[in-house]
Every structure is written in structure tokens, then in C-alpha cells.
Amino acid sequence: MRAVEPDRSGISEICGFQVAWESFGSIEKPTILFFPAWQLVHSRIWKLQVPFFARDFHVVTFDSPGNGRSERTLDDQAFGTDAVVDFGVGVLDELEIEQAHLVGLSRGGEYGLWMAARYPERVLSGAFIGPSLRRVPGLSPEHFWTPRPSYEGWEKFNAHHWRADFDDWLDFFMSKVASEPHSTKQFDDLRSWGRETTPEIVIKTVDNPALATELSLNEVLERIECPVLLIHGTEDQIVPVSVSRELVEKRPDFTFLELQDSGHSPNARDPVKVNQAIASFFGRPDPAHRTWQRAMSRNPKRALFISSPIGLGHIPRDLAIANQLRALIPDLQIEWLATHPISQMLEDSGECIHPLSAELSNKTTHWESMADDFRLHCFYAFREMDEILAHNFMVFLDVVRQTHYDIWIGDESWEVDHFLHENPELKTSPFVFMTDFVGYLPMDRSPESREAYLTADYNAEIIQHIERFPWVRDRSLYIGEFDDVVPERFGPGLPVIRDWMENHFTPIGPVVTFDPREYQDRARIRKKLGYAQEVPLIIAAVGGTAAGRLLLEKVVDSWPIVREQLTDAECVVIAGPRINQSEFRAVDGVKVLGYVERLYEHFAAADLAVVQGGLTTAIELTALRTPFLYFPLRDHFEQQSHVAHRLDRYGAGVRMDFHETTTEDLAGQIVNTLGADTSSWREVPSDGALRAAREIARILR
């Protein structure tokens, strides 16, 4: 799922070729034209820029013929610098745009410089990242066309090798583009985009008479009239930083930003700095409303609470912590940064939602888009959420630029945590990070598993972040006890998770938002909720996403079999806010509800619950000592490992496998587990919210 979808898109015939383009944001705002880079990639290279800039600009992207949604052609004329410039001008004409700011990466920077020279009246300003000027190692025709017995290093820049083993070339070249440590996501993206073109097309971009340009570089530099920003990483392994330095020597009026230790694609690896630099250069307006107050008169104190929307379990615990925090600091004002449905639940509770919450991209929608057949590979779902995370962090930055907060509190606000560690100078307030799991774990643990390599790499980056910049997090709170931590390592050669956490986290215990002692009288709870007293009651629920729909359907399908043995049993299916309750077939004895407030009360009234493997629901059932069957989503490492380990420690619940459980199996397990003895379950502490609030209050006082 994208962070934002285009408002307009099309494929237009420009200079005789089919050119695909997309347009984001209001066409009434100043336009930014993002050039494609080499035809080895396409316009998705700008995915970490487009959502941010589309908030204040009209953003236009297009694909050069040869990749993306544009046509595949071997016509020489499609690949020249002047041709791609004319494609960009043609797209602007298609949208009736007279002038635009330009952004280009690598060869796209070259396109931008040439457009600024050839069409100065169309260009407002330009920001060019690592402009290549086609200075790639080994570019000479002799090198490019000489066959070899084998190809090593830059010898792979060779037409024969591309035709024989294009994937090997992509692996080599993209490793040079994404050269910074922990750049596996950028590498995988680049390699996948490269596979959307062909060796013959890429050969045309290297050795082709149409590559000759109308203007020489010196003529280009003489003709450019607009302001130009050059951005270049000092560790660029494709285009040396000396290329931009030489341009600045010839045009000292160009603005030059050197990114120390960045590689060839800082727009992907260092998007926050790149976005800020380009936005400032293009004159992005300040956020619509800003306030400043003298430091000593900043009363009452203010907190910004960033609550994750993945599932509904975060919000009751966050509200519980917020309420305990207010009890400790009565005049504290809390504003929330959250997306729907969390924002609506907060508003219904009387909380203050920051207006820029409306600009956030919804993680829940993305999460659901990655789920299928009761499986959700949550590590890859998180990994594919990179543009959403980057966009939401840029929104967060606008929020904290508008108003000073005495503290930032993030419940699994991974984007805030990650990008603050990547840009520690942006931290302007104390920051508390909370999570109920630590450590990405692979589902595939075979020796050759790339997933195992990737999860370890992600874990290693987090470890390095925290050990290099321990002051970015003023508190790291673990929503659990250290005994709840899985007995695993972060990866080969990395620390044991619990050992490392004991040095970097404070455990606060689980956050239970009710006192279990008040729900021991099941008859009283049933009377309050309108349930019959003497009939078996089963509650089926799957939380706040649509990922568990199939489990609810299986419960409904199994109910006629259950009724054969429990003729008076009742089943209440809780569809939640994101599953249409009208889609379930009618079955005698089954009632389907939508979103239910205080779901834990219904669990307290039940003889048995059938649920997914989410932590909040499982801990609530454990605290209530209500028997339950739980079905972790397949490939969901948190539910399969972290949650299951915690439930094993409590001795709670019966773990089931959705794909191996037939409706007959489920019906039998429901009947057998109904009213099971739960007296041996470990007691769940219920003071987690207070413990968390005390840790946060220590920073505020």
C-alpha cells in the first residue's frame, strides 16, 4: 500500500512514445517535477518524497520509456538526455503546468540540469542529487563491449554480461547504490525495479547515438538561470562527490549540501534530511499555525502521545497510562497523534486529537492489505511499510515544530524512534518509547534463510542506534516483565534479547485496563449485559483489523455442530470496526455484533472465548480466567513467538492452528474446553498503567 495514492494519472503520447505519469496534490499549488533516474529504475524511487511534498506542492512523477508503466521500446530516440527532458516538458504540458521546480537523482539530475538550460522559462528551481553526468566507472565503449571469460567488480558493466546474467549485474550495481550499512530494504527495492526492464533496453541507455545532447555541459551551466541545490553523499560509489564539487566550482552560486557518509541514493536512505533540505530550498511554507511561549511561562505542561493504530489493543492501555499520568500530574495536557479508528475512539473518550492526525497514512489499512488466508507475515508487512513510516514521521516533525511539548510518548511509534535515531539532532523534547515486544524473529530459520538474515540485520541496526545514541530515548518501557521475553537471540552473533533488554528497558508489567476482581461474579456481568444466565456462552473476536475474518467465519460454520451437543449454547461474534457484520451467514444461535466497547466485560461473561493471537485480548482473558482458544496468524512472528511464549508462562489458553483445524475439530474443541478449570493460571498483575505513568512522571517533574 502506498502512503498516498495519485490524484490523477495517465499514459500520454509524448514525442511519439507512451509515457506514464502520476500527479499528487492540488494542481493549484506550485509544481515539483520529479525526474526518473536511469531506466534501470522508475518513479517509485521517489516514494519517500512524494507523500511529504504533496501536502504543500503539486507533485508530478513520470516513467521513462523502458521501465515502470511506460512503454518498452528499443527505439534509440527514447533514451537520450534531450528526449527524457522533452518527456518531462510534455507531461507538464499535458497537465497545463507552465513552471515547475525540478528534482532529479543520478542521471535524473543530469536531465534536470539540461531542462533548466533548454527551457529556463519553465523552471523555478532545481534540486539534484548525485547528478551523474554519465560518469560511471568503466563507461568506455571498449570496456562495455569487450567479452571476458568472467566478470568481476565494475567489469560487470558490460553488454555481454547483462545479456548473460542480468540479475548478477543488478545485484552488483544496486549494492553500490545502497551501500550504507543496513540498507537491505533499499537494495531489494532497487533490484526489484531493475527487473522490470530488460538488458537490451539498458544497453540502449549506454551506447546509443541519440545520447548525444544538444548542449554541452559548459553551455548548460552558462544558460541555467534558476537557483540550484546540489546534494551529494561523500560515500557515493556510483558518482563520486567530486562531480558535484566541480559543478560548484564552475557555478559558485549553486547551493551545495554534502551528506557525510551517505551513498548514491540518500533520498531513500536519508529521506528526512533530503526532504527537509529540498523543502527549505523550494520555499515550503511553515506549518499553517505555529506557537511559541516563553519557557518559564509554559504551564500547564504538555505531552504528545503517539499511539499505534495496528489493532485496538494499544488504545485502552494508552488511555489507562494517560489517565494515571494525569492523576500524578493533574494539570498535564495531552494531545494525541493517531489515525482512524484510534482517533475516533480517543475523541469518543473526550481526548484532544491533533489536527495533523488527518495527514497521517493509515498503518492498519496497509497491514490488512498484506494479510491473506489467515496469514500475515508481519515482519515483511512492517518492512513494506517504509514509505508510510517516513511520511508519518514528517507529519510528526510538523506537529512538534508547531508547538513545544514537554514530552513525547510513543506506543510502538516505530517511525518516530527510527528516524530520531537516524536524525538525533531533531530531538527537542524528552522521548518515552513503549512496546510489548522486542526483537524481530524469522519464521523461516533454515540455514540459507534470507528472512533470518534480514531480521537479524534490522535488530542489529536498532541495537546500534540505541547504544550509539542512548539519550534519544529518555525511557524505554517494556509492557511486560522480563520473564515474558522470548529466550532467543537477536540473531547470530547478536545478544540474547533478555540480557540486552535488562540493560536498556524498564519493565512495567502488562497493562490491564480493569480490576479483574470486579469481574469475578459472572452472573452479575451477564445480567448487566443482557445475557441469559444458565446457557453456555461463547464469544468469538479477532480485534481491530480485518485479518481475522476467516476465523470468525469458521466459528460460524462450526456452530451447527456445536449445537448438536450443546443445544442451548449461544455464540456472540464480535466483528470489530473493520469487518462488515452483515457479511456473515445467518446461523441459529449466533449473534454478530460490530465494534463493542469494553469487550473485556463480554469476555468476563463468557464460558469460553475463541480469539486470534493478539496480546491485549489474550492477557485480558488470562486476567479474567476465562477459558479461551487462540489462533495465531500464520507467519506472524509476534503472535507465533512473543505472545505464545508469554501465554505459556501464564499457563493460559489453548493454542490452535487455523489451517489444520477443521470446523469439526473446532466444534469439538469448543465443547471440550467450555468452562475449563483455569485456577492454575498465573495471576496477571494489574498495575502496569500506574508503573508506566510513574516512569513518565519522573521525567516531567
Per-residue pLDDT tens over the stretch 589-615: 999 998 888 999 999 999 999 999 999
Using DSSP's 3-state secondary structure scheme, residue 370 falls into coil
Query: Is 17 part of any domain?
Result: yes
Does 27 reside within a domain? yes
525 and 605 belong to one structural domain: yes
My answer on whether 233 and 325 are in the same domain is: no
488-513 pLDDT, tens per residue? 999 999 999 999 999 999 999 999 99
Residues 575 and 481 in one domain: no
In a domain, 681, yes or no: no
3-state secondary structure of 593: strand
Strand 302-307 to strand 333-337: parallel, antiparallel, or no bridges (unpaired)? parallel
Residues 227, 116 share a domain? yes
Q: Report in angstroms the alpha-carbon separations of 202 from 39, 71, 110, 174, 301.
A: 7, 14, 17, 14, 58
Judge contact between 643 and 615, C-beta under 8 A.
yes
Q: Which of 255, 281, 307 is the last residue of a domain?
A: 281
Same domain (yes/no): 409, 310: yes
Segment 583-591 shows an average pLDDT of 90
Taking only the tens place, the pLDDT of each residue in 278-319 is: 999 999 977 655 677 888 888 899 999 998 767 667 889 999
Q: Is residue 150 part of a domain?
A: no
Domain assignment present for residue 567? The answer is: yes
Structural domain span for residue 101? 8-137+209-281
Are residues 353 and 343 in contact, defined by beta-carbon separation less than 8 angstroms? Answer: yes
**Residue 213 in this model has a pLDDT that exceeds 70:** yes
What pLDDT, in 10s, does the model give residues 387-433?
999 999 999 999 999 899 999 999 999 999 999 999 999 999 999 99
CATH number of the domain to which 477 belongs: 3.40.50.2000
Q: 46, 21 in Cβ contact below 8 A? A: no
What are 557-565's contacts with CB under 8 Å, separation 24+?
557/663, 558/663, 558/664, 558/666, 558/667, 558/670, 559/587, 559/588, 559/589, 559/590, 559/667, 560/587, 560/588, 561/663, 561/664, 561/667, 561/668, 562/538, 562/667, 562/670, 562/671, 563/588, 563/589, 565/671
Segment 168-191, tens digit of pLDDT: 999 999 999 999 999 999 999 999
Number of domains the chain is built from: 3
**Residues in CB range of 452: below 8 A, 6 or more apart:** 442, 444, 445, 446, 491
- Do 427 and 508 lie in one domain? The reply is yes
How far is the C-alpha of 661 from the C-alpha of 601, rounded, in Å? 28
- Looking at the fold, whether 113 and 260 belong to one and the same domain comes out as yes
User: Are residues 261 and 309 located together in one domain of the fold?
Assistant: no
Q: Let me know whether 336 and 256 are in one domain.
A: no
Rounded Cα gap, residues 320 and 297, in angstroms = 29
Where a domain ends, among 238, 256, 281? 281
* Element at 407 (helix H, strand E): strand 407-411
If you write DSSP's letter for every residue of 185-237 in order, what string do you get?
HHHHHHHHHHTTS-HHHHHHTTS-GGG--SS-HHHHHHH--S-EEEEEETT-S
- On whether residue 192 sits in a domain, the answer given is no
Q: What is the DSSP string of 463-488?
A: HHHHHH-TTS-SEEEESS-GGGS-S-
For the four alpha carbons of 187, 190, 196 and 199, in that order, the dihedral sign comes to negative
Q: Are residues 447 and 593 in the same domain?
A: no
Question: Is pLDDT above 70 for 700?
Answer: yes
Examine residue 109 and state whether it is found in any structural domain, yes or no.
Answer: yes
Give dist(CA 181, CA 499) in Å, integer. 25
- Return the minimum-mean-pLDDT range out of 5-9, 58-62, 286-290, 301-305: 286-290
Which residue is listed with cell 509554559?
Answer: 298
Q: Is residue 67 part of a domain?
A: yes
> Given 259, 281, 303, which residue is the final one in a domain?
281
pTM of the complete model: 0.95
**Separation between Cα atoms, residue 559 and residue 532, nearest integer Å:** 18
Between CA 620 and CA 633 the distance in angstroms is 19
My answer on whether 523 and 507 are in the same domain is no
Q: Please tell me whether residues 264 and 320 are part of one structural domain.
A: no
Nearest to 237 by CA among 154, 155, 113: 154
pLDDT the model gives residue 137:
47
CATH number where 76 lies: 3.40.50.1820
